[in-house]
Amino acid sequence: MQKLSRENNLPTPGTTHPKLGVQDDLSADMDHTLYGLTGEVEDASDDEDDYVVRLVEEVYVVDHCQGQTPASTMQWDEVKVLGHEYLYAAPHGTKSMAEDMQNSIVSDFELNEEQERAFRLLAEHASSPQPVPLRMYMGGMGGTGKSRVVKAIVEYFARRGEAYRFVVLGPTGSVAAMLSGSTYHSVFKIPRDTKSKNSDDVDGLNSEATSLANVNERLHGVEQLKHETFTMFHLED
Ligand SMILES: Nc1ncnc2c1ncn2[C@@H]1O[C@H](COP(=O)(O)OP(=O)(O)OP(=O)(O)O)[C@@H](O)[C@H]1O
């Protein structure tokens, strides 16, 4: 039987713990600090230091308050034990993982203070489970580093394995190409010839409906659009 106690070394946050196997008892005090367990949790111990968890899968331990705290110095009320399926169910990952990723991107892209502020605002928004729509204007003279922030946020989504959530649009092919984006004509299927949009033109209406369906399909999963060079829209708008 393996026991989790204050004396034991807990796994480092962000690493998987080997299977604990079948365990028997658990202090009732742990109930409120545990969630996402894949197995049963039983209360059969009076000893508050003997926290034993019955699991059927690996567990994941994260410090949700201070991502960098060494596991051995964690307090029990700072620790949450999660079933590993939680990681797959939570599309935005954990807070400490998001922070680590943000820090490494700020460093890799050598963002200056203002760039970092803009980047973190976007990244935090992207990491929020149910964010309110973000409408952000990022202005500045040519060459002040706006594109670098966009590249950093694109990289942030890519490292999270969520590149599909962010689309960069530009008014022309050359602008779009600079940021590896697309033209909004292409993404929104804006027809070059709009003359055929009258109510008698059944084919025209059909093709418009088809275009909208295509656009919806293409933007499935996308939550944010970067519209070079003015605004960022939230798709629910
Ligand atoms: N923090 C930084 N450190 C070093 N170089 C940077 C930094 N930010 C931007 N640059 C460099 O400055 C140049 C201009 O940056 P960027 O293209 O991002 O500016 P911009 O504001 O988007 O310009 P424009 O409005 O003309 O498109 C680029 O060569 C970029 O690599």
Q: Are 225 and 232 in contact (CB under 8 A)?
A: yes
CB of 107 closer than 6 angstroms to any ligand 1 atom? no
Look at residue 147 in the predicted model and tell me its pLDDT: 86
Structure tokens that stand for 161 in this block: 């394995």
Q: Looking at the domain covering 95-234, what would its CATH class be?
A: alpha beta
Nearest C-alpha to atom 31 of ligand 1 is from which residue?
Answer: 148
CB of 33 closer than 6 angstroms to any ligand 1 atom? no
CA of 219 to the centre of ligand 1 (A): 28
Look at residue 225 in the predicted model and tell me its pLDDT: 57
CB of 110 closer than 6 angstroms to any ligand 1 atom? yes
DSSP 159-207: HTT-GGGEEEEESSHHHHHHTT-EEHHHHTT--S--TT-STT-HHHHHH
Mean pLDDT of 21-28: 31
Segment holding 126, helix H or strand E:
helix 113-127
Nearest C-alpha to atom 4 of ligand 1 is from which residue?
Answer: 110
Stretch among 30-44, 99-113, 164-178 having the lowest mean pLDDT: 30-44
Look at residue 126 in the predicted model and tell me its pLDDT: 79
Domain boundaries along the sequence of the chain: 16-89, 95-234
Q: Is pLDDT larger for residue 15 or for residue 171?
A: 171
Q: What is the pLDDT of residues 210-233, one digit of tens each?
A: 556 665 665 555 555 555 544 444
Q: Model confidence at 192, in pLDDT bands (50, 70, 90)?
A: low
